[in-house]
Structure 1
Amino acid sequence: MVAISIKRGKALSAYSQQSFKQFHFAMLVLVMFTIALIYSFYDPMKPAILQCYIDKLSGSKIPEHLQRLDDVLLAERQPTPGRTIFFLETSCPNPKMQTQPIGLTVRQACAIESAALHNPSYDVFLLYASPRYMDKKAEYPILDAILSYPNVHMRNADLWAFTKDSPVEKWFNGAELFKSIYLTAHLSDFFRLLTLWHFGGTYLDMDTLTLRSMESMPLNFVGLETNISINNAVLNVSPIGYGHEIAHKWLLEFQRNFSGTLWPHNGPGVITKVMRRACCTRKVLELENNPDCCNGFHVYDKNAFYAINWMELQNFFEEKYLDSMLEKTNTSYLIHLWNIVSKFKTLKTESEAPYTVLARVNCPKAYAAAGEYF
């Protein structure tokens, strides 16, 4: 009886510790959201935000040491419709600067490299919403790592030209989007839908790690995050036909019910609402691996892209969970890393945490350029 009581006590203690960790994790996220909300209201740079997405050197002579990235709509090398993986950068590093520098974190570079490595026959395009310039005098070891792949390309995207003749042109020109208190996130939600409406193909968040090829996956797919929600971190539509129709509906839904004060409302909320209306049932879980219900549009189960949910993400950064995390993601196409939380977790490059172990294999060049920390 004593032994049973001790075991039960240990089990309860372990359960309590796990519960405390989850509670602490949830409180951390809540604090982060609160800080972001306060900062958004009182940010002294707020009036200058809109100008950050306009090229201030357009029509003027560019200093010799700077090189402007080509515009995605004007460049000779265009994305291949339906066979391009897109990554987007929608932040504004400093609204008061005349030109915004090119810059990627090593983890963002890892996301891009892993996609390029596993999908060599696909184009991989990184699009910047705020015009970016490369300093010819500077060294970019992390950029060099991803640009060593012949299928990786970087471009600027003039948002106003990019929106022209789209179903949301008039709404976008009204600048309602730029009033959002979560502008970077909401602009990203909008920009990915517009990009897929233009070209079709695959959109991936910059906080993903691709584990295997997606080249043989069927056209038109999304993935369940929970039993009631489809996430927008991974999206694929065909450039014509039904996939393009769905992208059109996503844009119209975004415009119709846009909210600048609700963080997830314009992302997973838009995708979930449209798919519930477009498919044969409004019960999202019944769409799982059931393309016949959606005119051939695939809704993959959680394991495909979101095997690790945000509540257990901490385990992905701890060495003791290596085996369990590798097993959990063994059949996943990619891992979503929930950047709003994971960006605060640093790892030494020699770490044997699940993330670093997988990164060494799936983004070796970015990993080699990381230095002491990844």
Structure 2
Amino acid sequence: MQQNKAGTLVMLLMFSSILSGARLQLIRNTTEVRNIWFIESSGSQDLPFIQACAIESASLHNPAYFITLLTTGQLAASCEYCTILQTLPNFRSIRTDKEQAFLSSPMEAWYGSKMYNHSKYRVEHLSDALRYVTLWWHGGIYLDLDVITMRSLHSLTNGLVLEESGRPTNSILIFDKRHRFLKTVMKKCAEVYNPTEWTTCGPNLLQSLYQSGGSSAQNLTFLKAETFLAIGWKRWKWFFEQTRTTAVFQEVRESYGVHLSNHLSKHTTFQIGSGCAYELLAVWNCPRSYKHLVSKNRS
């Protein structure tokens, strides 16, 4: 174990220059309201480590933003990581009122039909809809709960992130409120919604709108994959393999964050002290959550 800890320390020193070089200066003395949104749409009463790490990392690198976790269920008082997140000065957790969220929005009729309730992908479809309508009303940045932020996001405006294949993802969305592209997305989602298709209102929909162009897609920034998806979903195991640590950090050195593809990796863990990329990302970007993870493993 001592050897593992020493190895981790060496790794930290090796990559400190890469990671610190990627950090931007903290935002100070601003009165502009900025929002970063996370959505938990399964109704879970708990938060796992990866979700806590994602939220803490956004808070750490964006102190001038409100970091908001919207939940469809009630988080339990026994939620350990919730207690840790409550110590962050710019974090808040809100149980969303779905009826109110969709009221008077372009997706009001879609939500009222409750078609998504009959889908085996109802959690994903509700999450897609909630992220669009939340940005429509409030604006800001939406991040999936498996995105670890590595630097300030304040320079990002109205845009989508492209995967390595060139297809837009809805795992990261940046929009001003009432942006017309969001309106187009919501209207199209309600129009073509297919409860049997996983990505009916997700990347497939964004891809069709991206390819068709049109006025709603004007003045959008299409961010290259390296901004958040330098390590794409096909290589998600790299984050857990200590032999890939150097390669991972070389590829993400210019990134704003990384996407851990939790739908594929949720049953995979890392050994404390292994020095894999996931662990080092946690050490640097969500230190409070990582400290709690370590203490839990020791007990």
Which TM-score applies when normalising by structure 1? 0.68
Q: Does 1:179 align with 2:118?
A: yes
Q: Does 1:203 align with 2:126?
A: no
Residue type of the alignment partner of 1:119: N
Q: How does 1:56-135 map to 2 (within 5 A)?
A: 83-93=34-44, 101=45, 103-130=46-73, 132-135=74-77
Give 5+ residue unaligned stretches, structure 1: 1-79, 94-100, 281-292
Residue type of the alignment partner of 2:297: E
Q: Aligned equivalents of 1:133 and 1:112: distance in 2?
A: 15
Number of residues paired by the alignment?
Answer: 266
Give the structure 2 partner of residue 163 of structure 1.
102
Give the structure 1 partner of residue 297 of structure 2.
372
Report the 3-state secondary structure (helix = DSSP H, G, I; strand = E; otherwise coil) of the residue aligned with 1:311: helix
Give the structure 2 partner of residue 251 of structure 1.
186
Check the 8 A contact 2:54/2:149 in 1, yes or no: yes
Q: Aligned equivalents of 1:116 and 1:345: distance in 2?
A: 25
Q: 1:250 to 1:107 in 2, by over 3 A?
A: same
Runs of 4+ in structure 1 deviating by more than 6 angstroms, as ranges, are none
Q: Aligned equivalents of 1:110 and 1:169: distance in 2?
A: 33
Give the structure 2 partner of residue 14 of structure 1.
none
Q: Which of structures 1 and 2 has the larger relative contact order (alpha carbons within 8 angstroms, sep 6+)? A: 2
Q: Aligned equivalents of 1:352 and 1:171: distance in 2?
A: 46
Q: How does 1:255-294 map to 2 (within 5 A)?
A: 255-279=190-214, 294=217
> Deviation per CA, 1:185-231, whole angstroms, max 9, x where unpaired?
111111111111111111000011111110122x2011101334100
Q: 1:170 to 1:294 in 2, by over 3 A?
A: closer
Give the structure 1 partner of residue 168 of structure 2.
230
- Cα deviation, residue 82, structure 1: 6.5
Percent identical among aligned pairs is 31
Check the 8 A contact 1:359/1:367 in 2, yes or no: yes
Q: 1:277 to 1:127 in 2, by over 3 A?
A: same
Q: Aligned equivalents of 1:253 and 1:322: distance in 2?
A: 41
- Cα deviation, residue 264, structure 1: 2.1
> Deviation per CA, 1:281-311, whole angstroms, max 9, x where unpaired?
xxxxxxxxxxxx9532100111111111111
RMSD: 2.0
Residue type of the alignment partner of 2:66: D
- Cα deviation, residue 133, structure 1: 5.0
Q: Aligned equivalents of 1:312 and 1:133: distance in 2?
A: 32
Which TM-score applies when normalising by structure 2? 0.84
- Cα deviation, residue 276, structure 1: 2.8
- Cα deviation, residue 270, structure 1: 1.8
Q: Aligned equivalents of 2:207 and 2:221: distance in 1?
A: 13
- Cα deviation, residue 129, structure 1: 1.8
Q: Aligned equivalents of 1:120 and 1:88: distance in 2?
A: 19
Q: Aligned equivalents of 2:240 and 2:165: distance in 1?
A: 25
Pair member with larger Rg: 1
